[in-house]
Amino acid sequence: MRFQNLSDWLDWQTQLHPSSIELGLDRVAAVWRHLYPHPFPTTVVTVAGTNGKGSCVAMLEAILCAAGYRVGCYTSPHLLRYNERIRVDGEEASDAAICQAFGRIDQARGETSLTYFEFGTLAALDIFTRSELDIVVLEVGLGGRLDATNIINPDVALITSVALDHTDWLGDDLEQIALEKAGILRANRPAVSGCVNSPLSLLQYAAKLNTPLAVAGDDFGFEITGPGEWFWHNAEQHFENLPFPALAGSCQLQNAAAALQVISLLSDRMDVNHEAISQGLQNIELAGRFQVIPGPVELILDVAHNPAAAQGLADSLQNSPCQGRTLVLFAMLADKDVAAVVKILAPHVDGWFLATL
């Protein structure tokens, strides 16, 4: 094996490919077929979207684990440890398991160059294939159509939201971006749009593919029924007296509603009852989504990095009034819409502290 520890593997991967991002499926699909020529062995849910992907993945994982299923989850990026990206049954993959997967990918690729993200995606899929799972939930890294996760055909596809972000790669208007995210849809396989107002290009692409698309507000919905309680429904099912998700933020019920529609579409192969849904919603853990750390000075950590996410953060700040000052430690990559994000947050901020990475 080329390296014996995870940090050496990751350092090498950052140098392997001439660019950090290269969208396209040919190289990564060829390596995967060489390693595993047979179809992927388990049920797959693929989750794309501008905002809400991580929350929906965490909800699906928590609910399905509470229902007794063995769940694999692939997410990105990580906050503290690379291992966060690959989870089996709620546990992060070990350094040893990831290194062994990297070794198999390295051997299978031959002379094919892979990006850091492609290497990690293939390693996650390799670990999942060997883990005898009931279901795998894949979070798209960028876009959908040309993202490395899209080499696997999902049994259910979920598009959480469409907003302006990564415009250099995905296009500079919502219809173009939606079409890139719609690339995870498959003909005659069910899909979910969690968008409050689904872009026309997404609806048209689903119709062209003959993809049964369940749309938020039309085919499923939710209502708040009391303090900390809500009701979810579609044409076939409903769940009453559900607890709010254990993730703060004004968008989380919308995310939860979309996740429950996915659960409903899986009901022919996976039995998930009210108790598992309630338990899962209460057990979700996800850092950086209006994450409150109590103390003499309360800290709120949030990864919002585009105008739509900033609006959600601003709404949450307005709903959580502070008796003192609100000070923001702020850093953002140069390719983001910094001015729009600052403008949205500014009415809720008393002072800014700017930082680099």
At residue 125, does pLDDT exceed 90?
yes
What is the domain class of 6-283 according to CATH?
A: alpha beta
3-state secondary structure of 216: strand
- The residue ranking higher by pLDDT, 307 or 165, is 307
Interval 53-65 mean pLDDT: 96
pLDDT tens digits, one per residue of 164-207: 665 565 666 888 889 999 999 999 999 999 998 899 999 999 99
Please give the pLDDT value at position 171.
60
pLDDT-wise least confident of 23-27, 57-61, 63-67, 336-340: 23-27
pTM of the model: 0.91
> How far apart are the C-alpha atoms of 272 and 260, rounded to whole Å?
10
- Under the banding of pLDDT at 50, 70 and 90, the label for residue 99 is very high
Task: Describe the strand order of the beta sheet including 220-226 as a list of residue ranges.
Answer: 220-226, 229-234, 238-243
Q: List strand residue ranges (DSSP E) for 140-219, in order.
A: 156-159, 191-193, 213-215
> Domain 291-354: what homologous superfamily?
Mur ligase, C-terminal domain (3.90.190.20)
- As a whole number of angstroms, the distance between CA 274 and CA 175 comes to 36
pLDDT reported for residue 285: 85
**Could you give the dihedral angle defined by the CA atoms of residues 141, 146, 148 and 150, in that order, rounded to the nearest 10 degrees?**
100
How many whole angstroms separate alpha carbon 349 and alpha carbon 326?
A: 5
Cis? peptide before 77, omega within 30° of 0: yes
Is 60 exceeded by the pLDDT of residue 209? yes
Q: How confident is the model at residue 249 (pLDDT cuts 50, 70, 90)?
A: confident
Q: Across the chain, what does the average pLDDT equal?
A: 93
pLDDT over 80 (residue 20): no
What local confidence, expressed as pLDDT, does residue 251 receive? 84
Domain locations in the chain as residue ranges: 6-283, 291-354
Read off the pLDDT of each residue in 236-259 and give the average, rounded to a whole number.
Answer: 92
Residue 21 has pLDDT above 80, yes or no: no
| pLDDT exceeds 60 at position 29 | yes
Q: How is 115-158 classified by DSSP, letter by letter?
A: -HHHHHHHHHHHHHHTTT-SEEEEE-SSSSTTSGGGGSPPSEEE
Give the pLDDT confidence score for residue 156 in this predicted structure.
98
What pLDDT digit, counting tens, does each position of 257-280 carry?
Answer: 999 999 999 999 999 999 999 999
pLDDT (average), residues 207-213? 97
Closest CA to 95 of 6, 14, 3: 6
pLDDT of 167: 56
Beta bridge partners of 1: none
Total residues belonging to the chain? 357
**pLDDT value at 61 more than 60:** yes
